Structure formats: structure tokens, C-alpha cells
Structure 1
Amino acid sequence: MEFFIETERLLLRELQLSDSEAMFEMDKNPNVHKYLWNKPNQSILESQKVIEFVRNQYIKNNIGRFAVILKETNEFIGWAGLKFNTEEVNGKINFFDIGYRLDEKFWGKGYASEATYAWLDYGFNSMKIKTMTAAAQTENGASNRILQKIGMLLTEQYLEDNVSWNWYELENPNIS
């Protein structure tokens, strides 16, 4: 699968094992994992396993999370993309969600919004996904604002391991 999406400032391309070091640098930061069960990565091997898992999703589902590359510097700044979930989340199964994670030094610059807008467009217009979903911990103000900014609608809240999450959905306006 050789595929990429280009935005004004970003290149969204397949994750590669060569991204392991930059991904590990991002994922060992406790601030990045504050709303991800507070489990920062402890070794580069964890990042390599995640990349292999995602690359298998490319084969199995023809989609997955992609590296977010800053075009100006050709630097890995995180990941974003669509995922087909086959495991139950919030009582739902077999659905597409939009997600992202950026290295802390790239927060607050609009990159997550730019990447998610591009993926939402791709999901609706190229993949013809009927309903896009997303979830963010209720206390994660930044992620909730990004999801609302791209047009996602808060449809419910749910608890997972005693943590409150917001569930977002957006119907494809091109499908009746």
C-alpha cells in the first residue's frame, strides 16, 4: 500500500519501521500519555510493535494510522488516520474512527486539526464511510476541541475503567 495525503503543511504517509525512534521519543513522554491510561512507552521495541500492528491493519483493512510529517523539515511529528475497529468500544464494534497523536513540541499549532480534516475528507469522499466516530477522555480539553472543530458531534459519554470518555459521531453528508 503506497499511499499518502498531502495538506498545506503536512504529508500523511504510511508508518515505517524507520519511524520507530521518533515515535518512541513521542510515546515515552508522560504528557503525551496523560489521557492514554498514563502508560508511556518504556522501550523502542514497544513503538516497533505498534508500527507492525498498524502495518498489518493496512493489509487487513486497507487503512490505518499514518505518520504525520512536517513538510517544511521532513520531520515525524506524530500520527493520524482512520482505524477500522473490530474490538468493542463503548458497546460498538466494526466501526471507523479518526484519531491522532502528536509529539508535545508540536501541540497547539493546528497540525492535529489539519491532519484530521484531511482524513475526514478522505474517509467520507474516497472510502464512502457512512459514519465517522471518535473518542476522547472527557478531561482532555484539547482533543475534545479538535474533534468539535472538525465537525464531530458529541453524542454520548461513557465510562471505561472508571474514566469518563466523550463519544463523537459525524454522518457523511454525501450519503443519504
Structure 2
Amino acid sequence: MKIYVETERLILREILPADIDGMFELDADPAVHHYLGNNPVKSIEQIPAIIEFIRKQYVDYGIGRWAVIDKRTNDFLGWAGLKYITEEQNGHIRYYDLGYRFIKRYWGKGFATEAAIATLDYGFNTLGLKEIVAIADCQNKGSNNVLRKVGFTFTNVFEIDGVPHNWYALAKNPSKHQPCKITS
């Protein structure tokens, strides 16, 4: 198991096949999918393919979403991290997207912000990226707040399947992204 980043409260590590129960709890919840196209998974049998898709990104692109684990309890909270996007979106292609998704009972505790800051640090200081983007449904106040809080700049509104989304970008700024503890 590879740990990419540790923060004060979190371990961000590769997603493993053993994360099936946590991933199912996350992706089966209609509240979690409210701003993600309202298409939660219907059965736990769908989860191994999702995990394998993420793990393939580690091999193909050297990056993918990470499991977010509570250091104190060892609970699976959700996922966060970067994804390399190879399909055109909002006039862009081949870019790194910051994303996060948390089990509902962990919302509002600062985990998304903490994971986003750690992900930005990893992207800029470890991977040497020059820019990271993020996308949020215009109605998703929580996610839009997190993205602004961690330094993203709103660029424009565009549509995904007829739903307005905000496009954000953040360029590397060495003074803003101080290294956090990273383990190999």
C-alpha cells in the first residue's frame, strides 16, 4: 500500500480492493451524488470495477484519486486527489483535475479542505505541475466554498449534460503551497 500524503488528521493513500465497503457506502448514497449527475451505484458488485478504474490511472498516468483515511480511527472517509483528464472538457484537454468525495457523515468537518490543500501541495511540489483545475456544480455551495478557500480562481461557467458548472484554475505559487509531510 502506497501512502502519498499525510496531514495532521488524514492519510491519503492508494485506493485498494479492500476499500470496497467504504466505496460502496460513498457511491450508493443519493445525497453524495446529488451534484454528480444523480446516479449512485445500485449494488456493491459495481464497486470492484470503479476501484480497478482508479487503480489503472495510477499505472497509466502516475496519479489518481486517493483513499482518505482518518488517522485517529483508521476509517475510510472518502476519496480525494488528482485525476489526469484526457477527454475534452470546457475547451481543455490533458489537464490535472482536483476532486474529492466524502461519505455524508464526514461532511462539514474540514476534511475536504485539508485533503485539497495536501493534494495541491503534492501536485505542485512533488509532481511539478504548473496548473491544477477543479470543477463544481454551480449549486454545490460546499464544494465551491472549499475550492475558493484553498485558492482556486473562478474562470467561467460551462455545462455538463445541461447542468451549469463552475470551472476553476490554480497556477503554482510557491509562497502559497508549503510542503506537508509526504511519505513514499
TM over 0.5: yes
Residue ranges of structure 1 left out of the alignment (5+ in a row): none
1:17: Cα distance to partner? Answer: 0.6
Q: How many residues align?
A: 174
Q: Which residue of 2 aligns with 1:30?
A: 30
Residue ranges of structure 2 left out of the alignment (5+ in a row): 175-184
Q: Which residue of 2 aligns with 1:82?
A: 82
Q: Which residue of 2 aligns with 1:166?
A: 166
Q: Which residue of 2 aligns with 1:4?
A: 4
**Separation of aligned partners in 2, 1:45 and 1:81:** 24
Q: Which residue of 2 aligns with 1:123?
A: 123
Q: Which residue of 2 aligns with 1:71?
A: 71
1:4: Cα distance to partner? Answer: 2.2
Which string of whole-angstrom CA distances, capped at 9 and with x for unpartnered residues, describes residues 101-131 of structure 1? 0000000000000001000011011111111
Relative to the length of structure 1, the TM-score reads: 0.96
Q: Which residue of 2 aligns with 1:92?
A: 92
Q: CA RMSD in A?
A: 1.0
1:26: Cα distance to partner? Answer: 1.3
**Separation of aligned partners in 2, 1:19 and 1:58:** 16
**Separation of aligned partners in 2, 1:132 and 1:172:** 8
1:87: Cα distance to partner? Answer: 1.1
Q: Which amino acid is 2:105 matched to?
A: K
Q: Which amino acid is 1:47 matched to?
A: I
Q: Which amino acid is 1:67 matched to?
A: A
1:163: Cα distance to partner? Answer: 0.3
More deviation, 105-114/155-164: 155-164
Q: Which residue of 2 aligns with 1:112?
A: 112
**Separation of aligned partners in 2, 1:102 and 1:113:** 11
1:3: Cα distance to partner? Answer: 3.5
**Separation of aligned partners in 2, 1:61 and 1:73:** 31
Q: Which residue of 1 aligns with 2:180?
A: none
2:137, 2:163 within 8 Å by CA — same for their partners in 1? yes
**Separation of aligned partners in 2, 1:65 and 1:2:** 13
**Separation of aligned partners in 1, 2:151 and 2:137:** 18
1:86: Cα distance to partner? Answer: 0.6
1:2: Cα distance to partner? Answer: 2.6
**Separation of aligned partners in 2, 1:91 and 1:35:** 21
Q: Which amino acid is 1:92 matched to?
A: H
